[in-house]
Structure 1
Amino acid sequence: MMMFWKLMFILAVFTATTQADCPMSQNPKAVIECLRYITSGLYGAVTKDLKIICSIASDIAICARRELGDCVAAEVGRKALDEIRDLADNCCPDRNRPRCPIRDSIINEQRCFAADSLVTLPNGQHKSITQLQSGDTILAYDDKTKQLIHTHLITMLDFQLHRFALFKQLTTFSGRQLSLTSSHLLPTSEQTYVMAKNLRIGMNIYVMNDEGVLMSETITNITDVVKQGYVAPLTAEGTLIVNNIASSCYATINSHHVAHAAVAPMRWWYRLFGMSWKGSKEGEGIHWFAKMLYEIAVFIVPSIIHY
């Protein structure tokens, strides 16, 4: 955690001093203090920690306007700064306000893979997970045979390129790395599917080696990292290979097979019409079907929801 704070602070100061037209020479102490507030606010936003956000919300608003102005918004990230302000405005008076997104909800916890992840095509080439389109063929994992198979992308259950999130970054013995949110499911050799937050060093997951063969490999390191952007692809098989690691498409519900059954209507639609079951609004955001599933689950069987 201390390393995270140091890196975030150094990055913020470096960005502001070398790339932005900021008044460092006029009031350097105030600028550094402002950057510290913003760094704290960013961490509070991605961890959904209202104590952090609310305690420094007014300081962020004041210092960003007085000391740094638009240069902070441009260099630290206008959307990140806006998100911190929105969280403070909508949640600090009352966490249960309708406009406050920090509630016990799959809509805020799903997230899945970091936007810098790569998927593998049948020819062995890699493609950015953010560039996937409905109908694309990619490699996936068959949990019955433990072998690689081909599957098609149906749609994105969530697609956010600008929001920040906290990820579990797994590293395996061969150096493979995967960043995914804590409630995301991964197949393991010890059990069936395990949420990322319950994985431990020494457990084995399935990795595709350089020869394109799926094999069991040991997790050697698990760390928390903050990254910008996350996506939740849904495939026909319910699995996919991300950064050469076998993964489920599902999160929050602690059963891969229950989650796969829940999205069966989307698979049927794709098989019948050969196109994704799109929501009413294109672009970034959460698919309307994923939202509906959550509301049904919370109402009928809330015990299956995990965070």
Structure 2
Amino acid sequence: MADLYSKLNVARGASEADVKKAYRKLAKELHPDRNRDNPKASEKFSEITQAYDLLSDKDKRAQYDRGEIDENGQPKATFGYGGSPFGGQGQGGRRPGAAGGYGGATADAGDFGDIFEGLFGGRRGAGGPAGGFGARRSPPAKGADMAYRLSVSFEDAASLAPQRVTLSTGKAIDLKLSVDAVDGKPMKLTGQGEEGPGGIGDAIVTIAIDPHRFYTRDGDDIRMTLPITLEEAVLGATVRVPTVDGPVNFSVPKGSTSGKTLRLKERGFHKKGGGRGYQYVTLSVDLPADDAELIAFAESRRETQTRNPRAALGV
């Protein structure tokens, strides 16, 4: 049987910290949950766990170093020790370092708990914390999670409209959008993944918002540019403006110019703390290209125009 130190790739005089570090590294590489298609890795995992089991116990490690016990924690097969020439336990003898059933000692449970919590979030994997005889088996694996990317229209994302989703199994479900999902956080649908011996996995849905032809998102707010006529800008008017919840009436103030921005309350995206953002509407005066009357009016105005709208720019 291979030397326990060589199994962990450490020198015989290695410190407790070095032994633990070596075991953590190997356990992470060989853990059965990460090598489900490699039975040799599971066997190797049991071997290194058994090695760490013994070497992490100061008394048993000392006995092992003195040659009193073997790699399984059993007394060496020598005459006069324990009364048996074949490694058995004599009438008056006690197997040094024994801790429970036949097949090797068990390391302190708290020590293994710290290791497995750091490696696998506190979950004990296949083979348990002690290899060889008496090793604990991991529970049956749950089915795999299924990942989905769901495209949602800009309007539906802003209003959190329910979505109809068809899974790979062919099952259609109604999905209620959340603020976190619209912000890009994956949604978990419990029990909608693949089946497995330990239960059904989950469906993980990530929302992707489709771009819009005239809306843009600005945090919880929505921005858009609204074309208006010259008459509406000069005289003021009530016009229809689109929102993600449908068109609404909108007042354009008298004497509005291109670039003027107004806002609509509660027409943006839903906020985490409740309520909704604004919809900002930037006005853009749309002039006809070949309107003879407008051209004549502009020419008449040019004759008497003295105001310089660019004076504030220093030109």
TM-score tier after normalising by the smaller chain length: under 0.3
If the length of structure 2 is used for normalisation, what is the TM-score?
A: 0.25
| TM-score between the two structures when normalised by the length of structure 1 | 0.25
- Bigger radius of gyration: 2
Higher relative contact order (CA 8 A, sep 6+): 1
Q: Which has the higher helix share?
A: 1
